[in-house]
Chain A
Amino acid sequence: MIELHRVWRVFSVGPVKVPALSDVSFRIAKGEFVTLHGASGAGKTTLLRLLYRDDLPTEGEIQVLDYDVPKLARRQVAELRRSIGVVFQDAKLLPGRTVYENVAFVLRVLGTPRREITPRVFDALRAVGMSSRAQAYPTQLSQGEAQRAALARAIARKPLLLLADEPTGNLDEAMAAEVIDVIKDIWAGGTTVLFATHQSTVAAVLRQRTLALQAGRIVKDEG
């Protein structure tokens, strides 16, 4: 499903080279739930961005869903991303649209037939426990609800891989637990999950395989 081999990502700040990822290698099999744990600035977001080709590695090989990610043409990048769901720390919901419209938006831009949109949106909203909030606007949602709406948007396309970048970072314990439960349900449905978090408590609660990232290096792979 995911395979990284000796991946480096080095940023240039003027004449200074700053490595964000150093010699990172790991493999994640289909159907796995993996927690990527590391402090802020450890390189979690950089690593996730490389997986959905929002950035390119300075060096190394990246395979995701059988795609040789760094070598993809623009059209293939779109193909790859259609199989990946991504959620962020801030839910990134479109402010002028309801929860329903936010989820429907991604289906519409991907050319989903009109008659399939409503049932698929409500399937996704039910899966995250948000069907009763379909007509609410993002400003009317709690942070936990917004995050669950973002998850509904990510899974409405039935992705093979879910990349969650600090989805509980802004949430209190109770809301974080709700979101974690939803993500675990998604995983139970067969989706491979890579869950990035800086919260040790969350990593402990997940009780899954954990990749520990420290200053851009994988320092532990256990579970």
Chain B
Amino acid sequence: MLGFLIGEALRDLRRAGRVAVSAILLITLSLAALGGFWLVSSNLGQATDHWRNRVRIIVFLKRDAGGMESQALVERVTAMAGVASVRYVGKAEALGTLKQVLGKDASVADQLPANPLPASLEVTPTAEGATPQGARTLIAQLTALPEAEEVGGGSEWIERLAQGRRLLNLIGFGIGAVLALAAILTVTTATTLVLHQRRQEMEIMRLVGAPEVVVRLPLLLQGMMQGLLGAMIAIWVLIGGYTLASPSLEPLVHQTLGVERLTFLPPDNVVMLMVAGTVLGGLGGLLARGRREP
């Protein structure tokens, strides 16, 4: 029976002709837009995670502490909530690092009359300590230390990145939703057209006492097929776009966001896009109305 109903749905799809093609294209557009935003968003998500793991808060100290004193300070800060680890960086080490950064110009540092760099504490926060609220609390605690001259760093810019990602998701869903609505209406139109062409079959089916589900199932299946086809094309479009664009974008993204490789949508997202397409098409098929029985 299912094979027969699928055969009827395929026959209907051929009958719908250009309208069915428009519906499939609209579903492709809406899902490609949604998937495209999703793709960018998931890579931004990677960048956010990457940078969130590298958040450091630097506490510049008023003076270089001695061995015992610095050890006690490190222990005190390590005991604070939201701190994963603490490293003491003495004035000499700071100058050494500066020379490394300067490279062949390191001799400039030797011209200085005295080491101007302050000693500091390099604080790595825990995951909770790296959230905007956690980082604010931690910075307040560190600023209150009597040894602290100034506290720098934090996670604001990472949060801005995460907010950008959320905004991108919202825009993607917005555009996807508008296109999806248009796709549903087009599938409904295509199915209504099929319904008129299929009038005789439906009349005969009802006349011989076919269950209503059997009468309407080919229309629903036809809509679902349009949706699935649209989703599959959208996925191919996304794969094509990703394959073409990623080699040229990767160096740029690596430099700006520190992400080594751009990744394609994970399999569960691909499956979700296909399900979304099928549901969109099915909705269109379901919404088409024909003559009602008395």
Contact = CB atoms under 8 A, between A and B. Distances in A.
Interface of A: 52-56, 74-75, 77-84, 86, 92, 94-96, 105-106, 108-111, 153, 157
Contacts of B201: 94, 105
B1 A108 contact: yes
B294 A55 contact: yes
Contacts of B203: 92
A35 to B, nearest CB: 22
B210 A110 contact: yes
A55 B203 CA distance: 14
5 contacts: A53-B294, A54-B294, A79-B209, A95-B200, A109-B208
B166 interface: no
Interface string B189-225: 0000000000011011111111110110000000000
A94 B211 CA distance: 19
B207 A78 contact: no
A65 to B, nearest CB: 12
A109 B217 CA distance: 11
Nearest to A53: B294
Interface of B: 1, 4, 11, 200-201, 203-212, 214-215, 293-294
A106 B208 contact: yes
Given A94-B204, A106-B204, A111-B1, A78 B294 contact: no
Given A78-B209, A106-B204, 15 more contacts: A54-B207, A55-B294, A74-B212, A74-B293, A77-B209, A77-B293, A78-B210, A86-B207, A92-B204, A94-B200, A95-B200, A105-B201, A109-B208, A110-B208, A111-B1
What 7 A-B pairs have minimum CB-CB distances, sorted nearest first? A81-B209, A82-B209, A109-B210, A78-B209, A106-B208, A108-B4, A109-B205
A80 B207 CA distance: 10
Contacts, number: 55
A96 B200 CA distance: 11
A56 B209 contact: no
Most buried by A among B203, B206, B207, B211: B207
A92 B293 contact: no
A44 to B, nearest CB: 17
B294 A81 contact: no
B279 to A, nearest CB: 26
Given A78-B211, A108-B4, A92 B294 contact: no
A56 B294 contact: yes
B204 A105 contact: yes
A157 B293 contact: no
Given A92-B203, A92-B204, A94-B201, A110 B294 contact: no
Nearest to B211: A78
A92 B201 CA distance: 9
Nearest to A109: B210
Contact of A157 (B206, B208, B215): B208
A110 B210 CA distance: 5
Contact of B208 (A74, A81, A96): A81
B12 to A, nearest CB: 12
A55 B294 CA distance: 6
A86 B203 CA distance: 12
A94 B208 CA distance: 14
A80 B210 CA distance: 11
Given A56-B294, A74-B212, A111-B1, A81 B206 contact: yes
Most buried by B among A56, A78, A109, A111: A109
Contact of B214 (A53, A84, A109): A109
Contacts of A86: 207
Contacts of A52: 207
Contacts of B212: 74, 78
A103 B2 CA distance: 19
A52 B1 CA distance: 25
Nearest to A50: B294
A165 B50 CA distance: 78
A73 to B, nearest CB: 11
A86 B206 CA distance: 11
Nearest to A154: B208
B208 to A, nearest CB: 5
Contacts of A55: 294
Most buried by A among B11, B203, B204: B204
B210 A92 contact: no
B10 to A, nearest CB: 13
